[in-house]
Copies of this chain bind each other. A is one copy, B any other.
Amino acid sequence: MAVSAAVAGASGYAGGEVLRLLLTHPEVRIGALTGNSNAGQRLGALQPHLYPLAERVLQPTAPEVLAGHDVVFLALPHGQSAAVAAELGDEVLVVDCGADFRLRDAGEWERFYGSPHAGTWPYGLPELPGGREALRGARRIAVPGCYPTAVSLGLFPAYAAGLAEPEAVIVAASGTSGAGKAAKPHLLGSEVMGSMSPYGVGGGHRHTPEMVQNLSAAAGEPVTVSFTPTLAPMPRGILATCSAKAKAGVTAQEVRAAYGKAFQGEPFARLLPEGQWPATGAVTGSNTALVQVALDESAGRIVAVCAIDNLAKGTAGGAVQSMNIALGLPEELGLSTTGVAP
């Protein structure tokens, strides 16, 4: 195997999922695993599902530990990636699962994150127009946020084809793993089971400007986004319901054709047959995005729904897919299109 990979932040959900995928990657050898407060512990105690790595011990997230690998995955809290990446040579592929390098607009970054903008890296969503090309040969990759992955795949075809007005309304439900592994009372099983709740309502969620960026690029004009995330009683999965007013005269056939064309040949994004709607349960553990679209003629809106696994296609799968492209490997390596269901 030619490629050595380190994972910084191996004890969290994103890092764990990167490892789960790399274990099946025929061209990758898993190198150093690092953690912060968990350094020194066996991975088996922290990620008991990663049985083949159970006896690995976490090291501190330090430059000398990460050095010497071909690829370094960063699954760190926001704001920490720039410093770590700066210590790694330009020839090392750094794949950042965090937010630091996703946005092009420094003002938007500062407005939503309240800190100076670290920069912009090639964006790891190859299904977007021009997305694949931007990743070839890259040595720095910003993995998209989980919500923007689902939302962009759900709506970019309508915008790229000029079918939708530039005001998108999105409500998305996410499994709790999207909120991470840090113990907070509102994320306790007792609180989330049997309950749905919104958060970040009214435009405050940090993934909003990333959606604006992607949809505006597809549309060729500024698109506003009303985004409401909700927490659903399930560990994994995002279901994004996305709609926009159809431009005058747009027909259902045009909408369907645009989506069919947008996903043609894509290994990991699929327009479902008419009459079948996506369920997040069908993509658990898989890198597939399932999309369906309808034209609501009474309301005059294009309504698209996209289901992904937030940790797979929404984070770690997108990261591995982008790595494959950057390194010139077959894009499907280490990734599954088969979900674990029921």
Q: How far is the CA of A79 from the CA of B315 in the complex (A)?
A: 45
Q: A201 contacts B305, CB within 8 Å?
A: yes
In the complex, which range does the number of interface residues on chain A fall in?
A: 35 or more
Contact of B181 with A185 in the complex, beta carbons under 8 Å: yes
Q: Using A279-B195, A342-B236 as known contacts, say yes or no to A190 and B177 having CB atoms under 8 A apart.
A: yes
Asked if A1 CB lies within 8 Å of chain B CBs, one says: no
- Whether A203 and B299, one on each chain, are in contact in the complex, defined by CB atoms closer than 8 angstroms, is yes
Question: What is the total number of copies of this protein in its complex?
Answer: 4
Alpha-carbon distance A50/B183, docked complex (angstroms): 24
Q: Whole-angstrom distance between the alpha carbons of A196 and B235 in the complex?
A: 11
Separation in Å of the A272 CB from the closest CB of chain B? 8
| Residues of chain B lying within 8 A (CB to CB) of residue A42 | 273
Pairs of residues from A and B, 9 with the lowest C-beta to C-beta distance, nearest first:
A195-B281, A202-B294, A49-B339, A197-B279, A171-B171, A189-B192, A226-B299, A49-B341, A203-B296
List A residues at the B interface (Cβ < 8 Å). Answer: 13, 16, 20, 23-24, 42, 44-45, 47-52, 167, 169, 171, 173, 175-177, 179, 181-185, 187-199, 201-203, 208, 224-226, 228, 230, 232-237, 239, 241, 243, 245, 270, 273, 276-286, 288, 290, 292, 294-301, 303, 305, 307, 336-342
